[in-house]
Amino acid sequence: MFSYSSPNLPESLHNSHFLLLTLTAPPSNLNPEYFSSLMNQYGPVLQVKILNRSLMECKVLVEMANTDAAKNAKKALDQLSSNFIKCSYYQEDKLHGSFTVGSFETIEDTTSSTFKNRHSTSLNEIINDADSKPQSATVLPISQKLIPSSKNIQSTKTVCLNGISGKDLDALKIYNIFSNFGNIDKIILINLKNFALVKYLKEDQAYFVYQHCQNIQFFESNLQITFAADDSIEKLVGLDTLYREQDYYIGSEDTDRFNANNKMILLPPSQVLHISNLKKVSSNAETMWDIFSEYGVVEAVKVLNSQFKFMCLVKMESLKQALEVMALMHNEEIDGRNIQISFTKAKI
């Protein structure tokens, strides 16, 4: 869950006893004591400071006792040849509360302390011991700090669905819901960390999700929506220990709900669902009631048949049930037709 792209550094930095670690999708249990235990294998550690932490990334500054200890640590971590942990030199007289490393602005975290003679801990023990250690204070990502006024929100094309969980949940089920709000470029679900990233083709579609999907109940979770950098999914692709094949989805014109040349009318989640692309034999209240009552309590059904189109409205008992119906049944086959399910303003 670690990756780092090392910048071009002056030769003088190789004499630094400061090391900068960057972690992608880090375990939530990591705190300064963990990093001290890890780095103490390679030499004495003076200080560790967690600079920034979010679901996507964590930056950690480690002060070794001397340059030889720093070289030993960096050499050992480089030899891992892994996407999971890499480090670079950082040269500074002291640990600052807030500063810039490259183009990444870091934010002060309260997790800072000094260490001597700590016991040794392996990287695997740190990652696998997620439930047995106390969590340290967490710094919210920058996008979550700019919430007091909607004018200050730094929106992107990518939203993060925080806290997402559910049995048999995968990227396609997420697509079935969130494709209602715009055409999707990519989705990745990280079950290990209970979050998913959804990247839209347009920023205003992601902003619509941010506005209308906060705190909705989706399977076993209440979703919290934040924005993520537009390259977040690309950073995770290839780290196949984090996700299954069915947890990664790539959109296309063939799967888009909206015609890009037409005006898009986006509607927020609703208890009433619009069911279309039905056959005449299926488009009746009895059939709809039988099918959708398998996923919850159906409160009402309204048939909208015309001479050539056969559609129905189905109202579920709760929004949570409506979302689950859409996630599980959109594009599924009924009597030889792949039905389409969408949100609607219509009432029954």
**What SS3 class is residue 24?**
strand
Check residues 142 and 38 and name the one with the higher pLDDT.
38
Q: Domain residue spans in the chain? A: 11-139, 150-250, 272-343
- The count of C-alpha atoms lying within 13 angstroms of the C-alpha of 99, restricted to the half-sphere facing its C-beta, is 15
Closest to 348 (Cα-Cα) out of 314, 297, 310: 314
Q: Give residue 278's pLDDT band: very low, low, confident or very high (50, 70, 90).
A: very high
pLDDT higher than 50, residue 107? no
CB-CB contact of 183 with 201 (8 Å): yes
Token pair belonging to 8: 């071009």
pTM (predicted TM-score): 0.66
pLDDT higher than 80, residue 18? yes
Rounded percentage of the chain residues whose pLDDT exceeds 90: 49
Interatomic CA distance for residues 200 and 187, integer angstroms: 9
Tens of pLDDT, residues 52-81: 887 777 889 999 999 999 999 888 888 765
Q: Give residue 152's pLDDT band: very low, low, confident or very high (50, 70, 90).
A: low
pLDDT higher than 70, residue 22? yes
Domain 150-250 indexed as CATH 3.20.10.10: no
Q: Residue 96: what pLDDT? A: 38
Interatomic CA distance for residues 269 and 267, integer angstroms: 7
Closest to 131 (Cα-Cα) out of 55, 241, 30: 30
**What SS3 class is residue 242?**
coil
Q: Residue 337: what pLDDT? A: 95
Residue 333's DSSP bridge partners are: 338
Q: What's the mean per-residue pLDDT of the chain?
A: 79
Q: Residue 336 class from Cβ within 10 Å (0-12 exposed, 13-18 middle, 19+ buried)? A: exposed
Q: What are phi and psi of 13, to 5 degrees?
A: -65, -20
Q: Cα angle vertex 280, ends 274, 286, to 5°?
A: 70
**What SS3 class is residue 251?**
coil
Interatomic CA distance for residues 302 and 292, integer angstroms: 13
Q: Give residue 325's pLDDT band: very low, low, confident or very high (50, 70, 90).
A: very high
CB-CB contact of 323 with 218 (8 Å): yes
Q: What are phi and psi of 87, to 5 degrees?
A: -145, 165
Interatomic CA distance for residues 247 and 184, integer angstroms: 15
Most confident of 6-20, 98-112, 143-157, 194-208: 194-208
Topology, domain 272-343: Alpha-Beta Plaits (3.30.70)
Q: What are phi and psi of 58, to 5 degrees?
A: -140, 130
Torsion sign over Cα 198, 204, 207, 212: negative
Domains 11-139 and 272-343 share a fold: yes
Interatomic CA distance for residues 216 and 304, integer angstroms: 28
Q: Residue 78: what pLDDT? A: 81
Interatomic CA distance for residues 206 and 160, integer angstroms: 10
Q: Cα angle vertex 149, ends 146, 152, to 5°?
A: 50
Q: Residue 36: what pLDDT? A: 85
Q: Residue 122: what pLDDT? A: 42
Interatomic CA distance for residues 246 and 168, integer angstroms: 10
pLDDT higher than 60, residue 141? no
Euclidean distance between the first and the last CA atom of the chain, given in angstroms as a whole number: 48
Q: Alpha carbon of 91 to those of 62, 95, 96: distances in Å?
A: 11, 10, 12
Q: What are phi and psi of 301, to 5 degrees?
A: -135, 135
Please give the CATH number for the structural domain made up of 11-139. Answer: 3.30.70.330
Q: Give residue 168's pLDDT band: very low, low, confident or very high (50, 70, 90).
A: confident
To which H or E segment does residue 9 belong? none
pLDDT higher than 90, residue 151? no
Tens of pLDDT, residues 203-226: 999 999 999 999 999 998 899 999
Q: Are strands 217-218 and 221-222 parallel, antiparallel or unpaired?
A: antiparallel
